[in-house]
Amino acid sequence: MTVVTRFAPSPTGFLHIGGARTALFNWLYARRMGGKYLLRIEDTDRARSTGEAVAAILDGLDWLGLSGDGEPVFQHTRLDRHAEVARTLLAEGKAYRCYCSPEALREMRERARVLGRTALYDNTWRDRDPAEAPAGVDPVVRLKTPLDGETVIEDLVQGRVAVRNADIDDFVLLRADGTPTYMHSVVVDDHDMGVTHVIRGDDHLNNAFRQAQLFRAMGWAEPRFAHIPLIHGPDGAKLSKRHGALGVEAYREMGYLPEALCNHLLRLGWSHGDDEVIDRGRAAEWFGLEAVGRAPARFDTGRLDSLNAHYIREAGDGRLADTALDWLRRRLARELTPAEEERARRGIAGAKARARTLADLADGLAFYADGQPDGYTPKAAKLLRADGARAALEGVLEAAGGLDDWTEAGVEAAVRALAERLGVKLGAVAQPLRAALTGSHASPGIFEVMAILGREETLARVKAVCPPPASD
RNA sequence: GACCCCUUCGUCUAGCGGUCCAGGACAACGGCCUCUCACGCCGUAAACACGGGUUCGAGUCCCGUAGGGGUCGCCA
C-alpha cells in the first residue's frame, strides 16, 4: 500500500509556524515511505476564506520546498460529493435530520455543562418521528453515533487513546443551508483522496474520534492517525495564527533561510539521537513517526539563529550572491554601481562567516558599497582619535602609494612592515585602518578588505579621515 | 466543569530497568586562537515536578497529587 499524506490548511490567514511544521512532517513521512504528499485547501467556510490567504499559504509552502505532489484540491469544489455522502447516510438510517433551533442548542449546552457531561447534543431528534418536524425550519443532518462502548484510536504518536462513546455526541454533517461541516468534508475528502496517514496537530485528537465514527458508518477504511504535539509560544501557550503568531513569510523577511527554518522545525518534537544539523535529504532518510515526542515544544529563536548562521556559512557564495545583493540594495535603498556590486560580491565569503541572518549579511556588506553608510560608529570614531592613529594612517598612505603588489598578501606584508617600522603592534595600525575603511570597529580581515576595496578606494577612505598636510 | 494529552538543564532534546554521581545542542559564563568581530577549539555552571508503590535495582513500569496544554460550534 502506498502511503498518502496530506496537509490541509484553511485559508484564513498566513501559513503559520505550526502549520509549516505539520506540512514538513507530512512531506517527510511521504518521502521516507516512498509515498505521496497532497495539499488540500479547506475553504468550505467561504465567508472567512480569501484568495490572498490561499496565495500566501501556497507561497510559504513553495518557499519552504513543501509544495504538494500534484495540484491542491479545493474543498469548496466538492460540495456536491459531500452532500451525496450525507444523503447516503440518511438513506441508510445512519444519519438523521435535526430541527433544533440555535437557542435550544444553547440551552442544551448549558444543561450538559451543569451535569458535567462532555456530549452536548441531547439526541432530541435522533429517534423522533420526522412527521413532527416543525414547518418552515431547515434541518441540519447529524450522524447517529453509537451510544455505548468506546472508540479507540491507535495513534502513531499518541499511542492507544480511548473515549467513551457516551462522550461523543451526534455531530453535524450538513448545515441547515446544505453545506458540509469541516468534520464531514475532511472524512469524505481524505477517503476520496486515498489518504492513508493523517498527520496533524494535537488539537485535532478529539476530532479523530468523531471522524473515526464517520469512516465506520460509511464502511470506509480508516486512515492511520498521528497527532503531533502543538508548538507553544515562549509563554507556553498555544501558538496559532489566531493569537498573533508570525507567519513563515515574517521569518523570510527577517533573513532566515528556508533550510534553517525547516531544520529548526524538524527538531521541535522530533529527534534522531544527538544529531542537530540535519538537511532535507538526511531528514527524509531518518524521519519516522515513532521518534516524534508527545510533549509540546516552545518556539525559541535562539537555535534558529544558530542554524541559520550555519546554513549561511554552508551556502555556496554563488547561490547566496543574488539574494545577498538584493538584501544589500534594500539595505541601502538604492541600486549598486558595477564597481560596488563587484566589491560586494567578492566580500560575501568574508561577510557570511559573520552573519546570522541575511539582514546581517547585508549589513556586513554595506561598507563595500558606501564608505560609511551610517557614518562612523562610536567605537570606530574612538579608534580614529586614539594615540598613534594619525601616524599609522599617514604611514599607510605612504606605504600604499608605492605598493606594486595590491593583493591580500601584498598589503599584509606592507602593513606588517609599517607596524614594525613604527614600533607598534599590528593592531595599532590595523584598528584605525579598519575604522577608516569600514566605519566600524569590527569587520572581516583588514587585508581582505583592502584587497577587495582596491588601492584607489582604500587611499580615498584613509585620506577622508587623515587629510594630507596642505602643500603650497 | 467534562473529556483527552503532557511534565529530564533557561530552551530543544538523548535516555526505551542496571552501562546515568543523567549525554548532546542552542543560549550564558570563562579561556585559547587572533589585526577587530565572527568562526573554531577547550572548559564552567545548569535538569529527572512531587508523593507513594512494583523491583535486588526506576529518569525509565504502575497509581495518586500538583502544574501545564488541548478540545468541547450549523469555525476549521
pLDDT of A401 > 90? The answer is no
Q: Write down the catalytic residue from A144, A241, A352, A425.
A: A241
* Distance of alpha carbon A339 from alpha carbon A333, whole angstroms: 17
ipTM, two decimals: 0.93
CB A105 within 8 A of CB A139: no
- List the nucleotides on chain B closer than 7 A to a protein CB: 1-8, 10-15, 23-27, 35-39, 68-76
User: Which band of pLDDT confidence, cut at 50, 70 and 90, is reported for residue A12?
Assistant: confident
User: Which band of pLDDT confidence, cut at 50, 70 and 90, is reported for residue A373?
Assistant: low
Which of A467, A380, A375, A356 lies closest to A431 in space, CA to CA?
A380
Which of A240, A188, A265 lies closest to A26 in space, CA to CA?
A265
Which of A301, A351, A311 lies closest to A327 in space, CA to CA?
A351
Question: In this structure, how many other beta carbons lie within 10 angstroms of the beta carbon of residue A320?
Answer: 24
pTM higher than 0.95, yes or no? no
* Distance of alpha carbon A269 from alpha carbon A254, whole angstroms: 24
The answer to whether A316 CB sits below 7 Å from nucleic acid chain B is no
Residue whose CA is minimally distant from B25 C1': A276
C-alpha R_g of chain A: 32
Stronger pLDDT, A384 or A172, i.e. the higher one: A172
Give mean pLDDT, residues A198-202: 95
Dihedral of alpha carbons A135, A137, A140, A142, sign:
negative
The answer to whether A167 CB sits below 7 Å from nucleic acid chain B is yes
* Distance of alpha carbon A37 from alpha carbon A26, whole angstroms: 7
CB A296 within 8 A of CB A202: yes
CB A287 within 8 A of CB A318: no
pLDDT of A47 > 80? The answer is no
Stronger pLDDT, A21 or A398, i.e. the higher one: A21
The answer to whether A48 CB sits below 7 Å from nucleic acid chain B is yes
CB A365 within 8 A of CB A351: yes
Within A319-462, strands assigned E span none
Q: Strand, coil or helix: what is A151?
A: strand
pLDDT digits (tens, 9 = 90+) for A456-466: 999 999 988 87
Give buried/exposed letters for A201-231 (b at 16+ CB in 10 A, else e).
bbeebebbbbbbbbbebbeeebbebbbbbbb
DSSP tag of A76: G
pLDDT on residue A251: 94
- What percentage of residues in chain A have a pLDDT greater than 70? 96
* Distance of alpha carbon A212 from alpha carbon A168, whole angstroms: 11
pLDDT on residue A345: 94
DSSP tag of A124: T
pLDDT of A472 > 80? The answer is no
**Burial zone of A323 (CB within 10 Å; 0-12 exposed, 13-18 middle, 19+ buried):** middle
User: Which band of pLDDT confidence, cut at 50, 70 and 90, is reported for residue A469?
Assistant: low
Give mean pLDDT, residues A75-101: 95
Most confident of A125-139, A227-241, A268-282: A268-282
pLDDT on residue A242: 43
User: Which band of pLDDT confidence, cut at 50, 70 and 90, is reported for residue A244?
Assistant: very low
Residue A365 is inside which H or E element, if any?
Answer: helix A358-369
Establish whether A241 is a catalytic residue: yes
pLDDT on residue A403: 84
pLDDT on residue A468: 62
The answer to whether A431 CB sits below 7 Å from nucleic acid chain B is yes
Placement of cell 606594486 in the chain: A404
Give mean pLDDT, residues A393-419: 90
Report CA(A75)–C1'(B73) in Å, whole number. 20
The answer to whether A113 CB sits below 7 Å from nucleic acid chain B is yes
Degrees (nearest 5) of the Cα angle A296, A297, A303?
A: 170
Q: Which of residues 224-283 of A touch strand B (CB under 7 A)?
A: 229-230, 232, 236-238, 267-269, 271, 273-274, 276
pLDDT of A54 > 80? The answer is yes
pLDDT of A160 > 50? The answer is yes
Beta strands A150-155 and A159-164, pairing class: antiparallel
pLDDT on residue A372: 64
Give chain A's mean pLDDT: 91
**Burial zone of A426 (CB within 10 Å; 0-12 exposed, 13-18 middle, 19+ buried):** middle
pLDDT on residue A241: 46
Degrees (nearest 5) of the Cα angle A419, A394, A469?
A: 160
Cell numbers at residue A124, please?
432530541
User: Which band of pLDDT confidence, cut at 50, 70 and 90, is reported for residue A243?
Assistant: very low
* Distance of alpha carbon A295 from alpha carbon A227, whole angstroms: 11
Cell numbers at residue A353, please?
562567516
